[in-house]
Amino acid sequence: MAVLVTGGTGFIGSHTCVELLERGYDVVIIDNLSNSSADVVDRIEKIAGRRPVFYEGDMLDKELLNSIFDRHEIDSVIHFAGLKAVGESVRIPVSYYRTNIGSTLNLIDAMKAHGCTRIVFSSSATVYDASDVSPLKEDALLGTSSPYGRTKLFIEQILRDECVADPSFTAILLRYFNPIGAHPSGLIGENPNGIPNNLLPYIVNVALGILPQLNVYGSDYPTPDGTGVRDYIHVCDLARGHIHALEYAATIKGADAINLGTGNGTSVLEIVHAFEKENSITIPYVLTDRRPGDNATTYADPGKANELLGWHAQYDIHDMVRDSWHFAQVFLKNSR
């Protein structure tokens, strides 16, 4: 039996494929390479010592999806594929709704047509209402301000509805906090196109000399040093959480939302200083205005994942900034 990993050549998907292969699962990937590249498949194989089956194609292509289920004995799906940039989703909302929701509808149809009833879905902490107070438990108030966030909320609801309609269906809705870091080998990691929006890729670009300085968005928040606090989680811890979620999915029916975070809040300046110390690099930065839409503090209560999945984050902030920088160096060296 195999696991279908949609978006498996992307940042979180590639790390999860490595974990799956290393634990003996057979892996089938579908990815349209809109935000990743085919050589990630070689890199996954190099780390894991086994090669996933790879289909280059779009989740909106129903025929392809069905043919993958026809060709492989797929008993569960981990669904990463989708568009994920909050700002872009405000500019092109219809593309976000079509891609993220349309892909999921096609996937559910193909799963049902082939008797596959288990799915682990990439949701996000962005589904929590910004006014709620951290640490956030899964029953905190939901509400989101961007089309991207709404696709996550809608998909969670669609999967819940499907679980009610079909009692044999199981959906684990994993709400990720802020994934950073990279595989310690330096072979896979995050490689966004253009100027990054997220903090760690931006810092890496400053460290590489591609961008002159970091803009720290807001220094007057009600936090210990005035800068925004988030729950950063190492992508390898996150990837491992998916294996635990698959195992848990095999023991329950219905839908369940579970946070994947460390439970620790770290400020922007703490991240900058950790990056500088761990990697012996100075990161020039300026304190600027708050970024619209940001809140002061967001971090998880990971108690449910600890208890139900038997999963705990193992890496700390120093591991995360070290591995992010290591990947940038190895990746750049190899792609020159």
Least distance CB 263 / ligand NAD (angstroms): 17
Binding mask of the shown chain, residues 67 to 106, with x at each position contacting ligand NAD by CB under 6 A? -------------xxxxx--------------x---x---
Site for ligand UD1 in 78-137 (CB under 6 A): 86, 124-126
What's the Rg (C-alpha) of the chain?
19
Q: Which one of 66, 185, 198, 205 is in contact with ligand UD1 (CB under 6 A)?
A: 198
Catalytic residue among 25, 55, 128, 148: 148
Show Cβ contacts of residue 251 under 8 Å, excluding neighbours closer than 6 positions.
Answer: none
Residues 312, 251, 122, 81, CA torsion sign: positive
Using CB under 6 A as the binding criterion, the count of chain residues that bind ligand NAD stands at 27
96 is catalytic: no
Q: Which of residues 14-43 bind ligand UD1 (CB under 6 A)?
A: none
35 near ligand NAD, judged by CB under 6 A: yes
Site membership for ligand UD1, residue 266 (CB under 6 A): no
Q: Are strands 266-267 and 229-230 parallel, antiparallel or unpaired?
A: antiparallel
**In this complex, which beta carbon is closest to ligand UD1, that of residue 215 or of residue 329?**
215
What CA–CA distance (Å, rounded) separates 34 from 58? Answer: 9
34 binds, among ligand UD1, ligand NAD, none (CB under 5 to 8 A by kind): ligand NAD
Residue written as token pair 């253009």: 194
Q: Does 293 sit near ligand UD1 (CB under 6 A)? A: yes
d(C-alpha 18, C-alpha 243), whole Å:
11
Total residues interacting with ligand UD1, rule: CB under 6 A:
19
Whose CB is nearest to ligand NAD? Answer: 10
Q: How far is CA 268 from the centre of its chain?
A: 20
Q: Please report how close the Cβ of residue 214 comes to ligand UD1 at its closest, in angstroms.
A: 6
| Contact residue for ligand UD1 among 7, 13, 228, 302 (CB under 6 A) | 228
Rounded to the nearest 10 degrees, what angle do helices 103-113 and 147-165 cross at?
A: 20
179 belongs to the binding site for ligand NAD (CB under 6 A) = yes
Q: Does 306 bind ligand UD1 (CB under 6 A)?
A: no
The one among 32, 144, 264, 298 contacting ligand NAD by CB under 6 A = 32
Q: Kindly state the smallest distance separating residue 197's Cβ from ligand UD1, in Å.
A: 6
The residues binding ligand NAD (CB under 6 A) are 7, 9-13, 30-36, 58-60, 80-84, 99, 103, 122, 124, 176, 179
